[in-house]
Structure 1
C-alpha cells in the first residue's frame, strides 16, 4: 500500500562554532518533560528510532537503531552534555569512518504549552548531508507520529531518500 504521507525537507544548514550542522525543528503540543522523555527514555525511543541500554550517568550507553531492522548493530553513544530537560549533546563513531565521530545536539524550549525541539547533527560534507538530511526528516517525522498517535506505517523511508537528497546537498553547499 502506498503511503499518504508527503515528506518535506525541513533541515537547514547552520554554523555552530565554525562547524556545519544540519538543524531540524519539530513542535509538540506537550510539556517539555514529555518531549524530553520521548528523546531520552528507551521505551519511548523504541517507538520511532531504537533503544538504548546502560547507565547514562557513566557518560555512555549502547544504542541500537531498530526502526528498520531488529538486528541493528550496537553503537556506543557518548553523552557530553545532559541538562535535563533542555539540552543533550552526544557523539558516536560515524558508520562511514569509525575514526571520525558524529555529534548530535538536542535543544528543547517550551512556551504556552508548546515544546520546540531543535535537533542538530554535525555534517562535514555534501555527500554525508544528502543521506543524513533525509534520514533525520524521516526519523523526526516518525517521532511526531509516535507522539501524536499517527500511523507510523504511513512514513516510508523510500519517499525521503533519494527524493530529498539534492535539497540537502545544496543546503550544505550554501
Structure 2
C-alpha cells in the first residue's frame, strides 16, 4: 500500500503552478530554521552544500538520497531568517525553484514547502521525493 500524497498542485498563473506540501513540526521556527541553515543539521536529513549560501551567491548542493548523489548548482534567491528561504537549483534533471516558509503555529511551526513549476506534470515525479524528504 502506497502512502497518501499530501502535496497539492495549485495554478498560480497562465503558465505557472505550485506544488505545495505542508507540515506541522513540534519545534519553534528558530529550531526548524536551524535544520535548514546549519550545515550539520541539514546534512543529516536533506543534503550537503559547498561554499557559503548567502543571498545571490552560488554554491554546490548534494541531496542525500538521490541516485548517484549528484551535485546541483544552487543560488540562494531569497532569505528571511526563520521565515522564508528560496533556492534556485540546476542539475542534469533540469531547473528547480524551491521555497520554504515557516510560521509560528501554537508553540510549533508550520512549514510550507513549495516547488514552483511552469508545467504541473513534473509534480507526479518530484512530489513523492519531497514527501520522503519532509
Alignment TM-score, normalising by the size of structure 1: 0.68
Question: C-alpha separation between the residues in 2 aligned to 1:122 and 1:24?
Answer: 12
Aligned-pair CA distance for 1:127: 3.7
1:61-114 deviation line (CA, Å, top 9, x unaligned): 211112355x512111111100001001110115334xxx21011100013211
The 1-side partners of 2:66 and 2:80 are apart by 30
Aligned to 2:123: 129
C-alpha contact (below 8 Å) 1:36/1:85 kept by paired residues: yes
Q: Runs of 5+ in structure 2 lacking a partner?
A: none
From the superposition, tell whether residues 94 and 6 of structure 1 become closer, same or farther in structure 2 (CA, over 3 Å).
same
4+ residue segments displaced more than 4 Å: none
Give distance in 2, aligned partners of 1:67 and 1:9.
Answer: 19
Q: 1:112 aligns with which of 101, 106, 109?
A: 106
Tell me the secondary structure at the aligned position of residue 56 of structure 1. Answer: coil
Q: Tell me the residue number matched to 1:138.
A: 132
More strand as a share of residues: 2
1:41 corresponds in structure 2 to 38
**Considering only aligned residues, what root-mean-square deviation do their CA atoms show, in Å?**
2.1
Per the normalisation by structure 2, the TM-score is 0.86
Larger radius of gyration: 1
Number of equivalences: 132
Higher helix share: 1
- Cα 1:72–1:25 shift into 2, 3 Å: same
1:11 equivalent to 2:7? Answer yes
